[in-house]
Structure 1
Amino acid sequence: MKLFKSVHEYNYPWNLVSAANWQKYPNEHCPHVQHVDVLNRSVDPETGILTTERLITVNQNMPKFILKLLGTDTTHYVHEISIIDPNEKTLTMHSRNLTMSHLLAVNETIAYSEHPEDKQRTQFTQQAQITAGTTLHRWANMVEDVSLKRFQQNALVGKEGFNKVLERFVVMSEAASDRQQQ
């Protein structure tokens, strides 16, 4: 098993960052994300907590011989459950791969929360646990190392893409606010 953790701060308030999260895909930095489908969404009337279940379709860019060996194609699926607590100002997303999870399981948790010292900033935490399945026992460590490296690279690219989406979202929000004031 390999672990990944990244912490980052956005210089925008939580409400903007959490709203921009829903605009994250598509973006030019993450072309592997093909579709994001909402499977279920509910709001707890007492707490205001919004829970969303989504299916994310991704195109895995792997060498064809590996795809043939694994008996799969490039289309893979990820299951995500997100929980927004507007009172606590947290957005937490838990995701896991559905495709080929018997060979390699990736469980990821992302959390956006209001910065404890500055309400005008948002704290971002990303964690992942990568585990090779028993089928790959002999090569588990190598598979986990390669997968961790790829996860780290994708996390950097994903953060860069989200930064662009967030900047566009902030500009749109400011323009809408200006129009309302006129």
Structure 2
Amino acid sequence: MKLFKTTHTYNYEWSLVSAAQWQKYPNENCPHVSHVDVLKRTVDPKTGVLTTERLITVNQKIPTIIKKILGSSSIQYVREVSIIDPNTKTLTMHSINLTMSNLLTCHETIVYKENPEDTTTTQFSQQATISAGKSLVSGWSNVLEEFSVRRFQQNADVGKIGFTKVLERLANNTTSPAAQTTTA
């Protein structure tokens, strides 16, 4: 099993960051994400907590040799469950791959939380555990896990750049004179 972990601070308020998350895809920086479908969405009437389950379709560039060995397609599916708690100003997202999960499993947890020391910023943490299936020979397990962690790191870096662009666009739209309304 391999572990990936990163943290970052976005210089935007939590309300903007959590709203922007729903507009992250499509994104020119992340062309590998081709579809995001909402499967289920509920709001707890007592707490106001919003829970959303989505299916994400990803077109990964998998090396030809791996495709031939594993007999897989470049189209992959990921299940994501997100929980937005407006009271604690926290957005938590859990995802797991559905495709080829018998060979490789990736559990990812992302948390966006209002920075308690500076409420104009949002703390971001991302963690993923990547485990090769027990059916693989241990030497291949390590190779597959190492490759997957490197690919995950690359996608995370590109995803952060793309998400920052979404944030900048939304921040500019909410502060532009055209976006402001006046009351008479």
Report the TM range for the smaller structure's normalisation.
over 0.9
Unaligned runs of 5+ in 2: none
Deviates more, 1:169-178 or 1:136-145: 169-178
Give the root-mean-square deviation of aligned CA atoms. Answer: 1.4
Instruction: List gaps (5 residues or longer) in structure 1.
Output: none
Q: Is the 8 A contact 2:173 2:179 kept in 1?
A: no
Do the aligned residues in 1 keep the contact of 2:93 with 2:110 (CA within 8 Å)?
Answer: yes
Cα pair distance change 1:171/1:144, threshold 3 Å: same
Distance in structure 1 (CA, Å) of the matches to 2:170 and 2:163: 10
What SS is found at the alignment partner of 2:56?
strand
TM-score by length of 2: 0.95
In the alignment, the residues of structure 1 paired with residue 103 and residue 6 of structure 2 have an alpha-carbon distance, to the nearest angstrom, of 25
Aligned equivalents of 2:65 and 2:142: distance in 1? 21
Moved more, 59-68 or 49-58: 59-68
Matched with 2:76 is 76
Structure having the larger proportion of residues in helix: 1
- Map residues 103-182 of structure 1 onto 2, 5 A cutoff: 103-138=103-138, 139-175=140-176, 178-181=179-182
For the residues of structure 1 that align with 2:137 and 2:112, how far apart are their CA atoms?
35
Cα distance change, pair 46–142 in 1 and its aligned pair in 2 (3 A): same
Contact 2:33 2:59 in 1 (8 A): yes
Q: Quick check: 2:30–2:159 contact (8 Å CA) kept in 1? A: yes
CA deviation vs aligned residue, 1:38-63 (integer Å, no higher than 9, x gap): 00000000000000000000001012
Quick one: percent identity of the two aligned structures?
Answer: 63
Matches within 5 A, 1:23-62: 23-62=23-62
| Residues 49, 65 of structure 1: alpha-carbon distance in 2 compared, 3 angstrom cutoff | same
Q: By how many angstroms is 1:178 displaced?
A: 4.8
Residue type matched to 1:89 in 2? K
